[in-house]
Amino acid sequence: MKAIVYKQYGSVDVLELKEVEKPLAKDHEILIKVHAAEVTKTDCEMRSFDFQVKWFWLPLRLAVGLFRPQRQILGGYFSGEVESAGKAVSRFKAGDQVFGTTKMRASAYGEYLCLPARSVLVTKPRNMSFAEAAAVPLGGLNALHFMRKANIQRGEKVLINGAGGSIGSFAVQIAKSMGAEVTAVDKTIKEDVIRRSGADHFVDYTRRDFAKSGKTYDVVFDMVANGSYSDCTKVLNPHGRYLLGNPRISDMLRSVLTTAFTDKVATFSFAGEQEKELIALKEMIEAGTITVIVDKVYSFEHVAEAHRRVEREQRLGAIVLAADHDSEKV
């Protein structure tokens, strides 16, 4: 089968399209024919091993490969079709159209992948293409996690900093579905796509500083890795909630103090990416409550261009890779 392989950390030039051995499903596994995989910021950071948030660099490097990547095929979020199931699997059958996450197994940048049947994997929303479905799990699961943590009440005012990314765009939609008035912060080129996600107000950070607007919010969700902790807490109403999506160690420590000694709550926690949450997202999609905007779909041969578009923050929606054998279905 064809797969995009990287044997060392580095620029997009380390990505190679190669023939590799097709995996075989064991008794408790399923073999999935991949239709599409989202190209994420994490994929780019794993490839280069250059992360915006630095504190987990060493433990992650030890886990995934100190000198070179142990798993040489990237891709954690995908959609596809079950090709076969191991003899101990009853949850899925051949022909099921699915979407989900591989978590740390990666490997979605290939024509086929094997996963344990217990993986975070459910049947694809009936009203989405494979490309759209592949672009749901990363942003959707993380946004749902944080918006539920925020305990948003109808009529509350929510600020989302970094609203144009995969997670931020879903957070806008989920917060709106909870009845919030949403202010989205990002750069100029993302205004249209953010407004299409349902934001009530847009702040272009290249022209205005939301912390100096005089406006305050019940919830602030910050997805910007180098965002200002002080600015975000300053614009909170009494008893407001601040959720840190990309916390630095200093931010984690400050959050404990903020929660303990002020009338505000600062929270950092990482999404568990659970099956029940993916089911909830599927139900919201099929009900028309949330959707996804796909910016561009690339073939495997153009993976370098896809990574560049993500790294340079040029994307106006999700960037997706389509497996060549299924490009007509994407």
Tell me: the pLDDT tens digits for 178-203? 999 999 999 999 999 999 999 999 99
Main-chain dihedrals φ then ψ at residue 45, nearest 5 degrees: -70, -40
Q: How are beta strands 217-222 and 157-161 bridged, if at all?
A: parallel
Place of tokens 């999700």: 318
Q: Which of 7-21, 51-65, 130-144 has the lowest mean pLDDT?
A: 51-65
Beta strands in 269-324 (DSSP E): 294-299, 318-322
Report the Cα–Cα distance between both ends of the chain, in Å, rounded.
Answer: 19
pLDDT at 64: 79
Share of the chain above pLDDT 70, in %: 96
Residues whose CB is less than 8 angstroms from the CB of residue 181 and which lie 6 or more positions away in sequence, other chains included: 155, 156, 157, 158, 200, 201
pLDDT band per the 50, 70, 90 thresholds, residue 57: low
Give the H/E segment covering residue 268. Answer: strand 265-268
Rg (CA), the chain: 20
**Residue 269's pLDDT is what?**
85
Between 141 and 272, where is the model more confident? Answer: 141
pLDDT over 60 at 328, yes or no: no
- Mean pLDDT in the chain? 94
**Token code pair at residue 219:** 């919830």
Q: Could you tell me the residue ranges of all domains in the chain?
A: 2-136+293-329, 139-268
- CATH 3.60.21.10: does it fit domain 139-268? no
Split at pLDDT 50, 70, 90, the class of 135 is very high
User: Does the pLDDT of residue 329 top 60, yes or no?
Assistant: no
Q: CA-to-CA distance for 165 and 39, rounded, in angstroms?
A: 12
pLDDT digits (tens, 9 = 90+) for 93-111: 999 999 999 988 999 999 9
**pLDDT value at residue 109:** 98
Name the more confident of 65 and 296. Answer: 296
211-249 per-position pLDDT tens digit: 999 999 999 999 998 889 999 999 999 999 999 999 988
**Domain 2-136+293-329, CATH class in plain words:** alpha beta
Residue 63 has pLDDT above 80, yes or no: no
pLDDT the model gives residue 130: 97
Q: What is the mean pLDDT of residues 134-154?
A: 97
Largest pairwise CA distance in the chain: 62
The whole model's pTM is what?
0.92
